[in-house]
């Protein structure tokens, strides 16, 4: 338990160090939510909600608000976890090589992902409620939460397999656009084909649209998002487990932690 608490504090601190991502999140979410009514024309949009097969009619600014919030949170969550995992990777390998148990490290990574996803989804939901009244606010949070989980897990996977931050940012940006744009009712109001439900953001998009605009909210899209999260997380954890197989004495990891901690400055 002590090893887990230490690792959890360390990984949460690594996430908190990314002040740029936190600043972008704090600014972009309210800016987009407040600007959506000024960007989109006040017109009705009829689209088919694929999860239920029903045709919904909604204001374009509400649809655009949901689409934009999903785009912001998935991008920032992926960047956040990708950057934190890359910075923590070499130190994690040194810890496990020195005998630090890997299971607490893996649990700590899962804890930091869940905590960050919950906070980002809550922040976005609160701002949405400040300017609009979606039909099911709790399911709106759930849809945003699963979007953060899916792309947070994707960031962990990319950090293990891509050589640098530039490659990771390019892959995240391109993947998120190819994933989210075809699912937006503004772009594709009558979706067809079998590929749509296979995309990572299908479940989160359908959940958020239903939560904001539909009289009922289906649970099947939530299961699809959790399946993607579980698959990506499993890939990341297996890759981490394989890369940290070399181990030393069980007590040597305390020296690695001491080396990581900042040394006090000498006073003259």
Residue 267 is predicted with a pLDDT of 46
Q: Where are the alpha helices (DSSP H) in 162-266?
A: 165-180, 202-213, 220-243, 253-260
DSSP assignment of 78-130: HHHHHHHHHHHHHHHHHHHHTT--HHHHHHHHHHHHHHHHHHHHHHHHHHHHH
pLDDT, one tens digit per residue, over 93-134 is 787 777 778 788 888 888 888 999 999 999 999 999 999 999
Name the 3-class secondary structure at 46: strand
Query: Residue 141's pLDDT is what?
Result: 96
What tokens appear for 112 in the block?
């930091």
Q: What is the DSSP letter of 50?
A: T
CA 215-122-80 angle, to 5 degrees, is: 125
All structural domains of the chain with their residue ranges: 2-259
Nearest to 212 by CA among 185, 191, 180: 185
Instruction: Give the pLDDT confidence score for residue 22 in this predicted structure.
Output: 82
Two tokens, residue 220: 């099947």
Q: What is the pLDDT along the chain (268 residues), one digit of tens a residue?
A: 777 887 788 777 777 777 887 888 889 999 999 988 888 877 889 999 998 889 999 999 999 999 999 999 999 999 988 988 888 777 777 877 777 787 888 888 888 889 999 999 999 999 999 999 999 999 999 999 999 999 999 998 998 888 788 888 899 999 999 999 999 999 889 888 888 899 999 999 999 999 999 998 889 999 999 999 999 999 988 888 887 775 544 444 454 444 454 444 444 4
pLDDT score for 246:
59
């Amino acid at each position: 338990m002590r090893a887990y608490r230490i690792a959890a504090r360390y990984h949460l601190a690594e996430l908190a160090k990314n002040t740029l991502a936190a600043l972008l999140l704090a600014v972009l979410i309210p800016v987009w939510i407040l600007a959506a009514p000024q960007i989109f024309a006040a017109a009705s949009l009829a689209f088919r909600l694929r999860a239920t097969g029903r045709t919904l009619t909604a204001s374009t600014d509400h649809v655009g608000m949901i689409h934009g919030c999903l785009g912001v949170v998935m991008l920032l969550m992926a960047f956040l976890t990708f950057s934190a995992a890359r910075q923590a990777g070499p130190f994690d390998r040194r810890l496990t090589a020195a005998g630090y148990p890997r299971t607490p490290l893996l649990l700590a990574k899962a804890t930091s992902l869940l905590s960050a996803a919950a906070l980002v989804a809550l922040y976005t939901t609160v701002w949405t409620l400040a300017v609009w009244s979606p039909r099911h606010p709790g399911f709106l949070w759930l849809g945003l939460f699963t979007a953060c989980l899916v792309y947070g897990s994707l960031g962990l996977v990319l950090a293990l397999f891509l050589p640098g931050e530039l490659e990771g940012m390019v892959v995240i940006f391109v993947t998120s656009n190819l994933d989210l744009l075809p699912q937006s009712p503004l772009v594709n109001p009558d979706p067809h084909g079998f590929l749509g439900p296979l995309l990572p953001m299908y479940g989160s998009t359908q959940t958020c649209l239903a939560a904001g605009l539909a009289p009922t909210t289906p649970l099947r899209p939530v299961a699809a998002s959790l399946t993607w999260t579980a698959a990506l997380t499993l890939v990341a954890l297996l890759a981490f487990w394989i890369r940290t197989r070399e181990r030393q004495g069980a007590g040597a990891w305390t020296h690695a932690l001491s080396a990581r901690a900042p040394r006090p400055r000498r006073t003259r």
